[in-house]
Amino acid sequence: MVTQLVAGRVFDYSHCVGRGAVSGMGFNSAIAVALGEGDTVYVLNRGWEFVPAVPWNRAGRGARVGIFTIGTEPGDEEFVGEFSKYGDGAGELIWPAGIAVDEQTNVYVTDEWLNRVSIFDKDGAFLSQWGGPGEEEGEFNGPSGIAFGPDDDLWIVDSRNHRVQGFTRDGKLLACWGSLGSGEGQFNTPWGITLDGQGYVY
């Protein structure tokens, strides 16, 4: 595999992890990943549905978060466990989109269909959830990308409201900006997000 240089860093392919499955070491429409403590990796699986393009009509399979440890050599990876499942109950997922881990190693997952953020501890035990559908500040219409800043505040792309919202870890609104359009500071169905060490949002 050809080594690629990006912004002064060297990236060299090592190996692949996973296979096509709805449990265990398998991935099914893996949509996002997040790094936990040590060599722990959380993989958010959207799963698949029995009715194409209409995920809310029939119970799906495979919507979950897989927990893995990743070593430095092929075969070092281990399946630790998995949590959540398809549904609209507490801690369940229908159309998960983004995942992030805070400084306390809690795991945050956005759901575009349920318009909420679900919080789990590092082992997958459900802790709480917040959010809800709407256009007012603090409400969501398709929350997708999610990332923590250097101060451990949470930034979420509110995709179909064409904006970005900032929250404390317990869901208190800090900021809300953006609107539909092609001008400076405007968006058209944004999806992903990241922050640098100085707190700049990209």
Question: What's the confidence (pLDDT) of residue 10?
Answer: 74
DSSP state of 142: S
Check pLDDT > 60 for residue 149. yes
Question: What's the confidence (pLDDT) of residue 77?
Answer: 82
pLDDT tens across 93-123, in order?
A: 999 999 999 999 999 999 999 999 999 999 9
Strands 116-120 and 107-111: antiparallel
pLDDT tens across 30-78, in order?
A: 899 999 999 899 999 988 654 455 555 545 567 899 999 987 777 778 8
CB atoms within 10 A of CB 141: 15
Q: Which CATH architecture has domain 16-177?
A: 6 Propeller (2.120)
Q: Where do the domains of the chain lie? A: 16-177
Two tokens, residue 21: 């499955």
Question: What's the confidence (pLDDT) of residue 27?
Answer: 75
Question: What's the confidence (pLDDT) of residue 29?
Answer: 82
DSSP state of 162: T
Name which of 87, 88, 86, 42 is nearest 65 in CA terms.
Answer: 42
Instruction: Kindly report each contact of residues 172-175 with a partner whose C-beta sits within 8 Å and lies 24 or more positions away, as own/partner.
Output: 173/137, 173/138
What CA–CA distance (Å, rounded) separates 120 from 73? Answer: 29
Name which of 137, 93, 129 is nearest 112 in CA terms.
Answer: 93
Question: What's the confidence (pLDDT) of residue 53?
Answer: 53
Question: What's the confidence (pLDDT) of residue 70?
Answer: 83
